[in-house]
Amino acid sequence: MGMEGAAGRAAIFFLFLSLTVAQNITGSGEDTLNVGVILHLKSLVGKMARTSILMAVEDFYKAHRNFKTKLVLHIRDSNGDDIQAASEAIDLLENYNVRAIVGPQKSSEATFVSDLGNKSQVPVISFTATNPTLSSINVPYFLRGTLSDVAQVNTLAALVKAYGWREVVPIYEDTDYGRGIIPYLADALQEFGASMPYRSAISESANTDQIERELYKLMTMQTRVYVVHMSTNIGSILFKKAKDLGMMSEDYAWILTDGISNIANSLSPSILDEMSGAIGVRFYVPASKELDDFTTRWNKRFKEDNPNDPPSQLSIFGLWGYDTIWALAQAAEKVRMADAIFQKQKDTKNTTCLGTLRISAIGPKLLDSILHSKFRGLSGEFDLRNRQLEFSTFQIIHVVGSQLKEIGFWTAKHGIFRQLNKNKSKTTNMNSVPDLNPVVWPGEVHTVPKGWQIPTNGKKLRIGVRTNAYPEFMKVESNPVTNEITASGYAIDVFEEALKRLPYAIPYEYVSFDNGQGINSGSYNDFVYQVYLGVYDAAIGDITIRYNRTSYVDFTLPYTESGVAMIVPVKDDRNKNTWVFLKPLTTDLWFGSIAFFIYTAIVIWLLERRSNNAELTGSFLRQLGIAIYFSFFADRERVDSILSRLVVIVWVFVLLVITSSYTANLSSMLTVQQLQPTVTDVHELLKNGEYVGYPNGSYVADLLRGLGFDRTKLRAYNDLDGFADALAKGSQNGGISAVIDEVPYIKIFLAKHCKGYTMIGPIYKSEGFGFAFPKRSPLVYDFSRAILSITEGDSIINIEKKWIGDQHACQNDGTIISSSSLNFNSFSGLFLVTGVASTSALLIALVMFLYKNKHRIRNSIRRDQTQKGYEAERINEQNQEMTIHSNQVHNLQLTVPDDSDEYRCQQDGEISIEQSPASEVQTSPYFASHAQQ
């Protein structure tokens, strides 16, 4: 009874104290806002957050003493249980009238609590729930005071791409938090060229044996790059077992998401040592004086709050919790607490606890105030306008022993870069070597893990091979005693050379598609399909890269030339008819030469006529013939003029060049064998109904049938000799007119049957030969790089010489070019020179003639001018006399009576005789006509 009485008195005392405090608050004009805080107080994050939240309330009201609304925190422990978290939330809403809830800590807990907050219109702010599926669309009263896990997936994908990894296996805890990131991570990896061949989900309650079995399963797979997304409790067990199994070695790469990286500083040295070699990403917090001061105070306060725990360092979750309280306190000051009452829900038919939850009257205003609260907190810019924080920069860290080192940063704008204070204009996401500080990978090596490995089951890679019609490319033999398959040929040399250039060794064995018994065991489509079925790990040889095959296998880059061409016979096309001597020169060159020949002869004739050459006597035709003789035989001794000799010299040079070229071309036409293909177009074969050959089992048969060839016109052959014999017979004698095949095969044929055949084309495009691997095989990328290095160097040339021979030894290989006639354009420069020389000589001669006879020409011009003056004066005088005579006659006609025509004629005659002397009379047409009358 004494103890019960003491307990009762204590309860009354605390009740009295609470009423007194409430009266003091009311009396001072201050309002309170009840805030519920739900955390997992036994976890490391929960302990950090509790200390940060309590310090946030103290610091805020110390800095804002004039604020009238005070936050009153009601902290509850969820114990990491979803039902417990929901129960605590209901208790806070019903019994403590909380107007806001901070937390809960886990994403699965937040799913329940956010529904409660949405029903009662109480804002729920979680700074640790990062599951992307927690959307404010369905629960508008849920706010995320942290980053969504989606924010980090591009950083993870950029790291995978930068280090050249093609496949990644995520290892995640099988909870809402773990599963939420996977779809977004898969999309980001696909965008950066990587994929997820497998997803490893580990239960939250998994024990050591279960985790060990999952790790053994991962060891049987090729992929060796893992993204770990889980809490530290499961993560510590995972890395301990991975190290025990030898998975923290040089062949493996481990990437940590921010779930572990954000609190890695607070993990024990033993756990960090087991993670040594892993890299991780986490939110970057800019340094500031306020952050340094708070960190010092927080370390001291955390020790006081958790005296039995080892020292821990402040994480980003503690900073987000601190800034969340500041945002809530600022928002509470803007809301009138006089309206802070709870209203009963209209629907009271539901008798459950959820049905009796009341609605907060200030909930919408408080939510709006929080959304408009923006400030710079300890974690950086704290802005919830988008109902969650927006990321800016991620820090890339590296675990070395029991320490953490910074190796770089990532932003959406600049990608990966090493330091913040350097130029970040260059994006490095797509580079093979990232701009990061050096990394000591698992196994304490500096070489970047290749990201995959042959499974540790003792098996070798089964490489499929097959014999075909061209043993130069692939020949397969089987040892009858040991049944061991051996292969040789062009393709084998390329494959084995590529293996030497890989940065790692691959155990392999050849497996024959036909068991070494022959070449007719199946088509190449069937051969490649065995890779898809898993019979072979790869198929090599003369496998054409075709579109339909890429649907079930991946090909390397081609290692041969591409294209489909024709092999056709060649014939001698020499033309030795009667008029073959005219063919060396074209018609325009013949006529041009004759025209300049005549022009040169005329110029020489004119020049020699001026110099009075004794040879140029007689008739005009005789003189022209002699001039032509001079220009044709170029006899400089028989021309006298220096200009004529200059013209002759230039013409001699032109004539020498033309005659030499004519002689050479005519000799070539008469002596050199002019080989021409018998067929130049595949459609010509189709039109004429010719027989066409193709290699047995090749896809070329489908190609020809697609072009319209009748099946009866197609003939398949198994070897090169069969092609040669059929081409020699011809289509009319039971053979073929052409062979349609791929360019690499045609080179082999021409190397053996050089004379009499040539290649036409390529007439169709193909991608060449490549090696086939299973879909998304990491070997494709490495083999393609190795093949590219082979084809760019001398290795491929040496392999071709070994198996095919010298490509330049056969004169028929390639396009045949015959001799062609010389045209006028070939000698246009020479004709221009001789034309300019002849015309210049003619002009010079004319100028010299004018200069020597300038006085005679001048006197002649003067005499002509004087004579013309006399004639002009005489004409003027005569015109004047005629005018006077005309006037006198007119006057006489007016005064003389007109008695008769006879009398008038007589008078006119008398007047004319009297007025003009007989010696100077100039009879005008008028008088002449009358005189005749």
Domain ranges of the chain: 31-147+288-341+356-383, 149-286+392-417, 461-559, 580-671, 682-766
The residue ranking higher by pLDDT, 816 or 682, is 682
pLDDT value of position 811? 52
Backbone angles phi, psi at 555, to 5 degrees: -110, 150
CATH homologous superfamily of domain 149-286+392-417? Response regulator (3.40.50.2300)
Average pLDDT score over residue span 428-439? 66
**Which DSSP symbol is given to 524?**
H
pLDDT value of position 888? 53
- Provide the pLDDT confidence category of residue 273 given band limits of 50, 70 and 90: very high
**CA 427 – CA 858 distance, rounded (Å):** 89
Distance of CA 78 to the CA centre of its chain: 53
pLDDT value of position 568? 84
Sign, CA dihedral 235-238-240-243, equals negative
For residue range 56-110, list pLDDT tens digits in order. 999 999 999 999 899 999 999 999 899 999 999 999 999 999 999 998 999 999 9
Closest alpha carbon to 74 in 48, 55, 93, 46: 93
- Provide the pLDDT confidence category of residue 326 given band limits of 50, 70 and 90: very high
For residue range 671-718, list pLDDT tens digits in order. 655 566 777 788 888 888 888 888 887 788 888 888 888 888 888 887
Query: Which CATH architecture best describes the domain 682-766?
Result: 3-Layer(aba) Sandwich (3.40)
Distance of CA 813 to the CA centre of its chain: 35
User: For residue 129, what are its two tokens?
Assistant: 């729930």
Closest alpha carbon to 234 in 267, 254, 207: 207
Instruction: Outline where DSSP puts E strands in 392-532.
Output: 394-400, 403-411, 415-417, 461-465, 475-478, 485-488, 508-512
- Provide the pLDDT confidence category of residue 180 given band limits of 50, 70 and 90: very high
- Provide the pLDDT confidence category of residue 517 given band limits of 50, 70 and 90: very low
pLDDT value of position 472? 87
**CA 304 – CA 307 distance, rounded (Å):** 6
Q: Which of 48-57, 85-94, 631-640, 743-752 has the lowest mean pLDDT?
A: 631-640
* CATH number corresponding to 461-559: 3.40.190.10
pLDDT at 792 over 60: yes
The residue ranking higher by pLDDT, 846 or 463, is 463
Backbone angles phi, psi at 585, to 5 degrees: -115, 140
pLDDT at 22 over 60: no
pLDDT at 428 over 60: no
564 burial type by CB count under 10 A (0-12 exposed, 13-18 middle, 19+ buried): buried
The reply to whether domains 149-286+392-417 and 682-766 share a CATH topology is no
Number of CB atoms found within 10 A of residue 543's CB: 26
Share of the chain above pLDDT 70, in %: 77
The residue ranking higher by pLDDT, 776 or 538, is 538
**Three-state secondary-structure class, residue 538:** strand
**CA 276 – CA 281 distance, rounded (Å):** 15
Q: Which of 314-328, 434-448, 556-570, 605-619 has the lowest mean pLDDT?
A: 605-619
For residue range 213-250, list pLDDT tens digits in order. 999 999 888 899 999 999 998 999 999 999 999 999 99
Decide if domain 31-147+288-341+356-383 falls under CATH 3.30.420.10: no
Share of the chain above pLDDT 90, in %: 39
**Which DSSP symbol is given to 150?**
G
Backbone angles phi, psi at 841, to 5 degrees: -60, -40
